[in-house]
Structure formats: C-alpha cells, structure tokens
Amino acid sequence: MSPEGARLRRQTLGAASALREALADHGLACLGSPGPIVPAVIGNERVARLTHRNLRPRGVAAMVVEYPVVPSGSARLRLQVMPSHTFEQAEQAAAAIAAAVSDTKRCRGLSARSGPIWSMIRSAADFEIPNSRAS
C-alpha cells in the first residue's frame, strides 16, 4: 500500500470509529467490525424509513436497510464514511441521526397510512379518481 493509501485508510477508520463512538453515546448500536461502512441499528422498519427521510434536510446521507434484506424488526441505517470526513462531522452526523430518530419516535402517533406515498397526498383533492358514471 502506498503511503497516501495508508494515510487515507487511517483517516477513514478514525472517522468511522468516531462515528461509532458518537452513535453509541446517543444510544444507537452499530453492527459489524470497524470499517468505512457503519450500520446503525434502528429496529422498527417504519421508524427507520421515516428517520431516513428526515436525515437529508439535516445534512446526512444514509441508506435504509430493512426486511427482507435484514430480519424483520432489525432495520438499520447504512452509513458510508470517507477519508474526507472529520471527527467533528462524525459527531455532528451522530447527533443529527439521534435527533431524527427521537423526532420520529415522538411522532409515532401517525396513522397507519403514513409512509412515502401518503406523505405526498395531503387531501383527496391531490389526486383524481375517474368517475365511471360520467357520460
């Protein structure tokens, strides 16, 4: 490995470790061995999906991984750490993720019709149903 490659690897692993520690400080468990991929366990698929949707406005990019890829009830966020990420950014990301999870859980009173498609439909006027009786 080149000296630059070794440096980039150290930076990546350092930022990933900082992210894992910060997530743990916020009560979120991470799976797997230390590396650039950090899977943060959310558990409930609905909470994971809604948390995922609330991360982009907070400046965090993540993928949601849910059933059938992982067992039901063990949904997680898949985070990718890059060498350019700083320890401070890792801590900020962990705080944003924890806040998004907390906000999502606080709003759990949503109807069963919540989710991506239902969040786009504000009222019956937002879509048209063809009238089969029209002449």
Report which of 18, 53, 16 is spatially closest to residue 32, judged by C-alpha positions: 16
The mean pLDDT of 14-27, rounded to a whole number, is: 96
Q: Which helix (H) or strand (E) holds 95?
A: helix 87-106
Task: List the domain boundaries for the chain.
Answer: 3-107
pLDDT of residue 58: 92
Residue 76 has which token pair?
Answer: 């997680």
pLDDT of residue 109: 53
Question: Confidence class of residue 125 from pLDDT cuts 50, 70 and 90?
Answer: very low
Which amino acid, 44? N
- Residue-wise pLDDT tens digits, 40-72: 999 999 999 999 999 999 999 999 999 999 999
> Which positions ≥6 away from 120 have C-beta within 8 Å?
126
Q: Which helix (H) or strand (E) holds 78?
A: strand 75-80
Query: Whole-model pTM?
Result: 0.76
The mean pLDDT of 8-34, rounded to a whole number, is: 95
Please answer whether residues 93 and 54 qualify as being in contact, where contact means their C-beta atoms are separated by less than 8 angstroms: no
Q: Class of 3-107 per CATH? A: alpha beta
Report which of 91, 73, 75 is spatially closest to residue 26, judged by C-alpha positions: 91
pLDDT of residue 17: 96
